[in-house]
Amino acid sequence: MADDSASLSGQLAATTLHDAVSSSDVAKAEFSDRVPIRSIVSRPDGGVGLAGHRVRIGGWVKTGRKADKDAFAFLELNDGSCPANLQVIVDASVSDLSPLVPTGTCIAVDGVLKLPPSGTKQKVELRVEKVVHVGPVDPAKYPLPKTRLTLEFLRDFVHLRPRTNTISAVARIRNALAYATHTFFQKHGFLYVHTPIITTSDCEGAGEMFQVTTLISEADKLEKDLIKNPPPSAADIEAAQLLVKEKGEIVAQLKSAKAKKEDINASVAELKKEKENLSKLEERSKLKPGIPKKDGKIDYGLDFFARQAFLTVSGQLQVESYACCLSSVYTFGPTFRAEHSHTSRHLAEFWMVEPEIAFAELKDDMNCAEAYVRFLCQWLLDNCLDDMEFMADKFDKTCIERLRMVASTPFERISYTEAVELLEEAVKGGRKFENKVEWGIDLASEHERYLTEVKFQKPVIVYNYPKDIKAFYMRLNDDSKTVAAMDVLVPKVGELIGGSQREERYDVIQQRIKDMELPIEPYEWYLDLRRYGTVKHCGFGLGFERMLLFATGIENIRDVIPFPRYPGRADL
Amino acid sequence: MADDSASLSGQLAATTLHDAVSSSDVAKAEFSDRVPIRSIVSRPDGGVGLAGHRVRIGGWVKTGRKADKDAFAFLELNDGSCPANLQVIVDASVSDLSPLVPTGTCIAVDGVLKLPPSGTKQKVELRVEKVVHVGPVDPAKYPLPKTRLTLEFLRDFVHLRPRTNTISAVARIRNALAYATHTFFQKHGFLYVHTPIITTSDCEGAGEMFQVTTLISEADKLEKDLIKNPPPSAADIEAAQLLVKEKGEIVAQLKSAKAKKEDINASVAELKKEKENLSKLEERSKLKPGIPKKDGKIDYGLDFFARQAFLTVSGQLQVESYACCLSSVYTFGPTFRAEHSHTSRHLAEFWMVEPEIAFAELKDDMNCAEAYVRFLCQWLLDNCLDDMEFMADKFDKTCIERLRMVASTPFERISYTEAVELLEEAVKGGRKFENKVEWGIDLASEHERYLTEVKFQKPVIVYNYPKDIKAFYMRLNDDSKTVAAMDVLVPKVGELIGGSQREERYDVIQQRIKDMELPIEPYEWYLDLRRYGTVKHCGFGLGFERMLLFATGIENIRDVIPFPRYPGRADL
């Protein structure tokens, strides 16, 4: 594949390595003078062909031990470029060995690649000639000792946990899926659009949204200021009023006495000064600590955006405005839910991929979703097999098999009505579900997983859902009972993608908004897209962390995002 | 170039087009049955070789007119895939022409590509055989008439403005720069890390940060609830207490009377119920409207994250934790400033690209920044020349020249001290600056622009700034006066990139935090990166919208982001 990032980076790194041997030009190529371990151990020959080459390597010690009566040290070194370590051997004559062996120590070394004695597992190892950097670790204090740590324990150390094999593998898989996402959509002519994070379209109900505000910090500032400089008292203001009165009288006297122009001007200037002082005092006397209110309600007119603002729950509505002129677009960014969910499947901050296609209908949407998911799976097989093998070994024996199956198998497509019939059949056949099965229900996770894991044992797209359980913007089908929605269900996580054809008919969508008792005003801009040059269009959203759970087999969503946010927790 | 997205997408679209002629398999390839206009007009022959081919085209009418006594209509159609329109000719026998001609109308049509009469400017045009969709426009109401509209006017219509030539060209250039960014870093082995948007590290001072909270909406909810169901009165509670007392006495009586076990149990159950009711009432009587307080301050223990939370101002500190184990990483995401800046260069929400490289020093940082900026410029020349030509024509005659110059010219590199000397020389030579020039000042925009636009007439990297004007995390140089910081200055916008080598020495950085009178506690996690396995590392930040201003020559930053946020304004 021409744009296979990992192999490109591999090639580049290999070139760098070659240069390292033949010239001192390395730094420029890599923006560092080290050679990534990946470019050695990920070669088809495992690095054997590089024996005899002199390289600089940097990384962190996974395990280190002194051997042969402290004559030398064996270090397993990892630099994050791949899951594999490079075995590094340091002779006691080269460096003091004790600071090098603790787990977590950072070293940069110059050395020569050598073939190890036969019978050892590594294909190539590094004999160190010079230690150029040591970032030491006091093992008594290091929070991540060599012993196996639970993922739950590691959540207390989000700044250090990427140093573990698991979290670094997840980081590489996440990177691969992100770049695969951009590559897929760019290849198909989609334009990446940055939809806003701060939004004033509170379409999903403010209750589940985070509010973004400067009112509290400004109230804090004012409160501190008022303590430092108390507001004027009534007496202060009275005194100032008296001064204004006196100065006014002086002006009047001078004028009626036809005094000199200079004298009148001078007294007018004094009057003006006192008036200004009074109005400043009056202004300040109105200041009240606390969040500003108007008619008993918070006065959002004084907030940063002069109105209430929230963190987005989806970029869909906004990206539609770009689809309705640029035709094929997508957004990929963070989204937010202020739900008090303490489950292993929910985060307060998570990433979503949301393409939107104009001149397209539901079947196009399904084609796009299927092609995208299969592309992601194939990409991981092509670019991250080493990390996937680690995952298969430690977390989920079937994860590679699952990727292969999805990459190579056309998805099953069934209507919601067919799905309900299949579930009813299953119930008749003795299958127990906690949630009742009947036409009109929203499919529960157990239903979705039965369809994809048991019934079809492959991804399933369910389409044409009852309109009453779906959003107002989904296109009403001719039966007037269902809407052109579709969900992609996959083994392991259930719903991975939710999408729909959007209602492009002005009259129909307006009626749907009314029927669902939503206010029209906030959607006027959205209705404009139907008022002026409307177009059939559709799109979907893929929960990026769900895709990671699907790919890696990790159980808790908090472990597949670098800095998880959930109720009571937002470290760093 | 193998991963040239635009030409890839062009190839793909061309394939699609070919298929459209020979089969009905188009929909699957493109997730739509239309052929993008780009794949016709952007061919080297301008589409001439496609004459005779039957295609479906969709798009929005830029200008339309009836001709030859209403016998047919000429429509200039644009679908956002490229700046060029396709001329479409509809015969009155095919369709009612009046609904087709208003600017903004959306149509999808089937037709045959034809060579136009010689002497016309287009290379190929479409003769329509069938109109398959019309999304009409009432010209009397359409907010974006054909007349030329100012960018300022368009800011009131962020949902419609991408339908204009300028904003759609900016969108394509922005997309190209975003994908170029990912491509550049992936090619060089950097891993994309999603740093958090919601943060509890308020390192830059809370005053400039947006607060993220659910306290206000929860207080609102409570207030409404208390109005609906007023809290219990003292009398209610007294009554409930009395009931508990009575039930307690009954239990005591029954027990002392050695009543039947069932009777005792029943009365105990009643007592329990009344006790529960009482505790509920007492709980409810404590509820107070308003934001919860504790010791006179807002009780953030009750906020969603159990502490005060903000929108991030930079992902740098967090991404460093990934660099210190994965070696080469970058983040690319939204960042926020709650500054009341009403300038043409500031947004409250903007995107930043922030790479971070381990085992690297300041020169590596400069090499990376230079290579990245030059890559971006070359990418636009290779992939967006049509849009750039539009920009050169409408906004900035020199913008293409500027890209060529930057792509092909090594950047000048001078120390801060040299920069000040050059500025002092300029002053001696008669150059006037508003801001005084002397060693120790922070360079003002006028100084930066003099250096890059007048003195060197190319990009300039200024490095080794006085420590007193830079952040605590920048590495102290051996002179103890300067830090290893660097800024990339470019013509047109001045500072495009700011970066530094990070202080990796635990003792030094701890002292710097103290010297700058910052609290240590919030940085303990950041210090951990130096405590355990520290490594030399560096990084920089590129303001993505600044890069767009530089590339396009657009004057106001509000016009190069799809949904601009600034004081008083956050539409949609």
Measure CB to CB from residue B572 to each of A193, A318, A358 and give the nearest one.
A318
pLDDT of res. B4: 38
Structure-model confidence comparison of residues B204 and B417, the more confident one? B417
Task: Collect all residues of chain A within an 8 Å Cβ-Cβ radius of residue B8.
Answer: 2-3, 186-187
Shortest Cα distance, chain B CAs vs residue A69, angstroms: 26
**Rounded distance, CA A114 to CA A271, Å?**
92
Check: CB of residue A357 under 8 Å from CB of residue A372.
no
State the virtual CA torsion across B59, B62, B67, B70 in degrees, nearest 10.
60
Q: Is the dihedral of CA A356, A369, A487, A363 positive or negative?
A: positive
Task: Collect all residues of chain A within an 8 Å Cβ-Cβ radius of residue B357.
Answer: 31-32
β-sheet bridge partners, residue A128: A111
Shortest Cα distance, chain B CAs vs residue A266, angstroms: 36
Shortest Cα distance, chain A CAs vs residue B159, angstroms: 5
Q: How confident is the model at residue B571 (pLDDT cuts 50, 70, 90)?
A: very high
β-sheet bridge partners, residue B76: B63, B87
Token pair in block for residue B160: 């419609």
| Range B54-63 average pLDDT | 96
Measure CB to CB from residue A106 to each of B61, B364, B533 and give the nearest one.
B533
State the virtual CA torsion across A244, A250, A254, A257 in degrees, nearest 10.
130
**Rounded distance, CA B55 to CA B36, Å?**
10
Shortest Cα distance, chain A CAs vs residue B532, angstroms: 5
**Rounded distance, CA A518 to CA A202, Å?**
11
| Helix B385-394, helix B544-552: angle, nearest 10 | 70
What is the per-residue pLDDT across B379-388, written as a single tens digit (0 to 9) for each? 999 999 999 9
Contact criterion met (CB < 8 Å) for B189 and A12: yes
Q: Comparing C-alpha atoms, which of B113, B52, B29, B38 is closest to residue B82?
A: B38
Check: CB of residue A11 under 8 Å from CB of residue A181.
no
User: Rounded mean pLDDT of chain B?
Assistant: 92
Shortest Cα distance, chain A CAs vs residue B109, angstroms: 11
Rg (CA), chain B: 33
Would you list the DSSP string of A28-86?
A: HHHTSSS--THHHHTSTTTTGGGTT-EEEEEEEEEEEEEETTTTEEEEEEE-SSSS--E
**Rounded distance, CA B153 to CA A302, Å?**
24
Q: What angle do CA A201, B549, A332 make, to 5 degrees?
A: 40
Token pair in block for residue A99: 């600071």
pLDDT of res. B333: 98
Contacts of A403 (CB under 8 A, 6+ apart): A377, A378, A380, A381, A388, A551
Contact criterion met (CB < 8 Å) for B174 and A187: no
**Rounded distance, CA B160 to CA A300, Å?**
26
Token pair in block for residue B562: 């799809």
Contact criterion met (CB < 8 Å) for B567 and A159: no
Contact criterion met (CB < 8 Å) for A348 and B304: yes
Q: What ipTM goes with this model?
A: 0.91
Task: Tell me the pTM.
Answer: 0.91
Task: Count CB neighbours of B146 within 10 A.
Answer: 14
Q: Assess whether pLDDT exceeds 60 at residue B163.
A: yes
Contact criterion met (CB < 8 Å) for A175 and B191: yes
Strands A494-502 vs A537-543: parallel, antiparallel or unpaired: antiparallel
Token pair in block for residue A566: 């959930």
Place of tokens 């196996």: A148
Check: CB of residue B313 under 8 Å from CB of residue B335.
yes
A282-296, B395-409, B531-545: lowest mean pLDDT where?
A282-296
Q: How confident is the model at residue B19 (pLDDT cuts 50, 70, 90)?
A: very low
The residue ranges of chain A whose pLDDT is under 50 are 1-29, 206
What is the three-class DSSP state of B332?
A: strand
Check: CB of residue B308 under 8 Å from CB of residue B300.
yes
Task: Collect all residues of chain B within an 8 Å Cβ-Cβ radius of residue A533.
Answer: 60-61, 104-106, 135-137, 163
Token pair in block for residue B551: 């590339």
Task: Collect all residues of chain A within an 8 Å Cβ-Cβ radius of residue B136.
Answer: 533
Q: Comparing C-alpha atoms, which of A287, A266, A402, A108 is closest to residue B533?
A: A108
Contact criterion met (CB < 8 Å) for A359 and B80: no
How much of chain B, in percent, has pLDDT values that exceed 90?
83
pLDDT of res. A27: 33
Q: Please count the residue pairs, one from chain A and one from chain B, whose beta carbons lie less than 8 angstroms apart.
A: 416
Task: Collect all residues of chain B within an 8 Å Cβ-Cβ radius of residue A81.
Answer: 189, 326-328
pLDDT of res. A20: 38
pLDDT of res. A146: 76
Task: Count CB neighbours of A151 within 10 A.
Answer: 17
Shortest Cα distance, chain A CAs vs residue B81, angstroms: 6
Task: Collect all residues of chain B within an 8 Å Cβ-Cβ radius of residue A359.
Answer: 32-34, 58, 108, 133
Instruction: Please provide residue A241's backbone torsions phi and psi, each rounded to the nearest 5 degrees.
Output: -65, -40
Q: What angle do CA A280, A283, A287 make, to 5 degrees?
A: 130
What is the three-class DSSP state of A564?
A: coil
Check: CB of residue B289 under 8 Å from CB of residue B222.
yes
Q: Comparing C-alpha atoms, which of A137, A136, A91, A92 is closest to residue A111?
A: A91
Q: Which of B327, B486, B540 should we substitute to test contact with A (largest number of A Cβ atoms within 10 Å)?
A: B327
Contact criterion met (CB < 8 Å) for B306 and A569: yes
What is the per-residue pLDDT across B78-121, written as a single tens digit (0 to 9) for each? 999 999 999 999 999 999 999 999 999 999 999 999 999 888 88
CA distances from B55 to B20, B88, B93, B108, B129 (A): 6, 12, 19, 11, 10
Check: CB of residue B519 under 8 Å from CB of residue B395.
no
Secondary structure of A300-342 in HEC code, one letter for each residue: HHHCCCCCCEEECCCCHHHHHHHHHHHCEEEEEEEEECCCCCC
Token pair in block for residue B544: 């993505």
Rg (CA), chain A: 33
β-sheet bridge partners, residue A528: none
**Rounded distance, CA B82 to CA A64, Å?**
57
Q: Which of B194, B203, B336, B350 should we substitute to test contact with A (largest number of A Cβ atoms within 10 Å)?
A: B194
Q: Residue A226, Cα to own-chain centre: how many angstroms?
A: 40
Q: Assess whether pLDDT exceeds 90 at residue B59.
A: yes
pLDDT of res. B121: 82
A462-466, B225-229, B307-311: lowest mean pLDDT where?
B225-229
Measure CB to CB from residue B357 to each of A28, A32, A133 and give the nearest one.
A32
Contact criterion met (CB < 8 Å) for B186 and A371: no
What is the per-residue pLDDT across A431-477, written as a single tens digit (0 to 9) for each? 999 999 999 999 999 999 999 999 999 999 999 999 999 999 999 99
Nearest CA in chain B to A363: B31
Shortest Cα distance, chain A CAs vs residue B526, angstroms: 8
Check: CB of residue A174 under 8 Å from CB of residue B194.
yes
Please give the span between the terminal C-alpha atoms of chain B, in angstroms, as a whole number.
39
pLDDT of res. A425: 97
Task: Collect all residues of chain A within an 8 Å Cβ-Cβ radius of residue B166.
Answer: none
Helix (DSSP H) and strand (DSSP E) numbers for chain A = 17, 18
How much of chain B, in percent, has pLDDT values that exceed 70?
94
Shortest Cα distance, chain A CAs vs residue B358, angstroms: 8
Q: What angle do CA A61, A62, A63 make, to 5 degrees?
A: 95
Q: How confident is the model at residue B29 (pLDDT cuts 50, 70, 90)?
A: very low
Check: CB of residue A77 under 8 Å from CB of residue A88.
yes
pLDDT of res. B30: 65
Please give the DSSP secondary-structure letter assigned to residue A163.
G
